[in-house]
Amino acid sequence: MILNILLIEDETLFAKSVMKRLQREGHTPTIAETISDAYMVLEKTLPDIILLDVRLPDASGLDFLQVLREHQTWHVIPVVMMTAYGELEDAVRAMKLGATDYLKKPVDLDELVLTVNKVMQTQKLSQQLDYSHVRETHGSEPVVMVGQSNAMQAIKQQMERVIQLVDRAQTEYPVILINGETGTGKDVLARYYHQSGKWRDKPFVHVDCAALPKDLIEAELFGYERGAFTNAHQAKAGLIEVAEDGTLFLDEVGELPLELQSKLLNVLERRQIRRIGATQERAVNAHFIAATNRDLPQMVADGEFRSDLYFRLNVIQLQMPPLRERKIDIAPLAAHFVEMVARRYGLKPPVFTETAVSALQDYDWPGNIRELQHVVERAVMMSADGLIDVSQLIMQTTITTSQQLDPVEVLGHMTLEQVEKYLLEKALERTAGNVSRAARELGLTRMAMRYRMEKYQL
């Protein structure tokens, strides 16, 4: 990530050293030797981060920090203060005024780079979570449960029964577990529950337990108090608290670290949460929905998932069927996705030919509904005559080992992206959706695997 960095520093040699180092890291630094110069820079551009010295020729850096924090626009810029060794009171005052972090002079340039990266990583994650919360609370499109199959009708009826009971009781909210392969629509079912109840105007917080970094997931879920750990300069509510009176959707709950499962169980059992570093608990009342593509009973047997947490989650269990087992739903789902994509791009919805519909129904859909949506979106974008024919449906042919085809024959007609997607699908099939194991087979980290799964909507 290339950053625009404003360095406010009057020591010329030190400022030039910092500028050269930041440039080597790929960033774009700007130097201001005085507060007056800094004002002129801020009037023209908004930097990503400010490195601010306390002692400056025309004013105090601490006074300038207070101006920044009270400004309508500048208050969002993270500020790292630089204080002389032994001036602890300046560092303390800086943190009280809202500095993001501080460095002691003489500043080690390696430490400076690490601090900048750490601050921006935290800032980015915070912005993503805040945006996600606002979007889920105010901007979600109405969820439509498309499905004529007996399996989908049964699931819809079961969920509606739960919603009616909760609406009527209005006391403790339930815990629901949704099982199913990747891409079967577990998140859609969770949103359907949220949007169909009286709590629809409350937050819907989607937490991907596999995507959050392991060293951050506890802080993000449970929150923390000021001073609980390094850089915990302000108290922050966790996502469980944010979901108060609404719905917390724990996606891929099977990926939750074992050491945090007991804390989650305590929340589910007692409806109390304790932030990191806190001495008192807080009451929390939310609708909890967990989803997984993992075999939780097998994980319990293998010691990878707590049995008591599994039994607590398993009170109300719903099983999302794979698309290959509900062929009758393929055509209505495809038509729904056509309407959705056409509306998004302001297009007239194209129509499937009979051969195209037959091709969709004959395919096994290893990526389930998510893969179908991706295929349909691409077909709508490529349709120029109001029709979608087989030629516009780019699907991966399922190859079995019994066919014993030459890899060149199987993969030779594919693009590089299609080959990569095919290999990901096969690895997930072999590991029954176990993301961590599939990543190891492919020689990827779990985060790299997750990135590619999102890229190809697997």
Q: For 242-264, how does the pLDDT look when each residue is reduced to its tens digit (9 = 90+)?
A: 888 899 999 999 999 998 999 99
DSSP codes of every residue in 92-156 = HHHHHHT-SEEEEESPPHHHHHHHHHHHHHHHHHHHHHHHHHHHHHH-PPPP-----SHHHHHHH
Rounded distance between C-alpha atoms, residue 337 and residue 390, angstroms:
17
Cβ neighbours for 44, distance < 8 A, ≥ 6 positions apart: none
Which residues of the chain fall short of a pLDDT of 50? 128, 131-132, 134-139, 398-405, 410
Identity of the amino acid at 424: L
Domains and CATH numbers, the chain: 4-128 (3.40.50.2300), 140-321 (3.40.50.300), 322-395 (1.10.8.60), 399-458 (1.10.10.60)
pTM of the model: 0.61
User: Which pLDDT belongs to residue 399?
Assistant: 38
User: Which pLDDT belongs to residue 126?
Assistant: 60
Cis ω for the linkage preceding 142 (within 30 of 0): no
User: Which pLDDT belongs to residue 387?
Assistant: 93
Cβ neighbours for 344, distance < 8 A, ≥ 6 positions apart: none
